[in-house]
Amino acid sequence: MSIYAVGHKVPDSDSIVGAIALSYLKNQIGEEVIPARLGELSPETQFIIDKFGFDAPELKLSYAGHSLYIVDHSDIALAPDDIDQATILGIVDHHKLGDLTSDTPLECWIRPVGCSNTVIKMMYDFHQVAIPKDIAGIMLCAILSDTVIFKSPTCTTADIRCVEVLAEIAGVEDFKALGMEMFEVKSAVLDTPMRDLVMRDFKNFYMNGTHIGIGQLEVIDLSIFDEMKADLAADLAKLKQEEGQHTVMLLLTDIMKEGSELIIYSDDEQLVEKAYGKSTTDNKVWLEGVLSRKKQIVPQLQQVFA
Ligand code: MG
Ligand code: MG
Ligand code: MG
């Protein structure tokens, strides 16, 4: 039996970096924890770990008989498929409370901040463990990614303070420039298969039993999608047919204009109207000021399906 730290399915930078940073902390305080992941790295995450000299955590899908620290989620739909056969030792997260539960007492670090790595920084402070330079570097990138370089409404003063401290440890002088460099990598969507783009940051939710899938692509300039938007939309519709969700959405987020174009296919034609008070044209609508799936998209849908 081993102990693993693992983030959510279709891992983002917060999930991968969180697994690495939490494992290091646990190892320092005498608990042997192995970082793991539930899927392939995104180009952004690859950029981050290459930059600071890390290898990808072990790809591991099955955890039966093992113990786990869950990072960056607490939803069964986003967790390992056989999590019911594993022992959950702890949850480190910054999302709404999900439906995971445990058989034994567990350690819970859940805070309404912009990134799980901000919570992990609090854990380092609590345990008085120094953060190594390279780990500070990847944690700082994860926070810049999740908070969209502080623009997201999920960003708190704790996240900003945390980035400042981590940048100092990592020796990163201009962290906003590093953030933009990261989003440049994230914006490189040309010559990528449509399904890879739809699935790059895709999450399935069960809202009162209704299956909803929501993907998001965050780029510096939305015009990059002009040529491929029709193909993206067609692939999203195809995904819905294949997987049978009630609703599938893809958010094309422009981090400079600070808004998102929502592409949606739903069994309920009025859903966007009910949730966001807007009507769609050709299954699309611009949502001004919307950057955050967890804060500006999911809660409104939860209410519709409550
Ligand atoms: Mg995440
Ligand atoms: Mg996160
Ligand atoms: Mg995100």
- pLDDT of the residue at 184: 93
**Angle, to 10 degrees, between the axis of helix 13-28 and the axis of helix 116-127?**
10
**Mean pLDDT computed over every residue of the chain:** 97
3-state secondary structure of 192: coil
Give 51's pLDDT tier (boundaries 50, 70, 90): very high
- Nearest-CA neighbor of 291 among 183, 194, 212? 183
- pLDDT of the residue at 71: 98
Is the domain of 111 the same as that of 225? no
Is the domain of 166 the same as that of 71? yes
User: pTM value?
Assistant: 0.94
Considering 184, 203, 221, which residue would you say is the last residue of a domain? 184
Look up the domain containing 32 and give its range: 3-184
Give 164's pLDDT tier (boundaries 50, 70, 90): very high
Q: Summarize pLDDT for 72-103 with one digit per residue, the tens.
A: 999 999 999 999 999 999 999 999 999 999 99
Q: In what order do the strands lie in the sheet with 202-207?
A: 202-207, 210-219, 247-254, 259-266, 284-288
Q: How many domains does the chain have?
A: 2
Residue 189, domain member (yes or no): no
**Ligand 3 centroid to 136 CA: how many Å?**
19
**Ligand 2 centroid to 12 CA: how many Å?**
8
- pLDDT of the residue at 113: 98
Q: In what order do the strands lie in the sheet with 34-37?
A: 58-59, 34-37, 3-6, 67-71, 87-93, 107-110
The token pair at 194 is: 């449509």
Is the domain of 206 the same as that of 106? no
Tokens 């300039």: give the residue: 221
**Ligand 2 centroid to 269 CA: how many Å?**
30
Ligand closest in space to the Cα of 114 = 2
**Ligand 3 centroid to 84 CA: how many Å?**
26
Give 277's pLDDT tier (boundaries 50, 70, 90): very high
Q: What is the CATH number of the domain that holds 259?
A: 3.10.310.20
Give 45's pLDDT tier (boundaries 50, 70, 90): very high
Is the domain of 41 the same as that of 170? yes
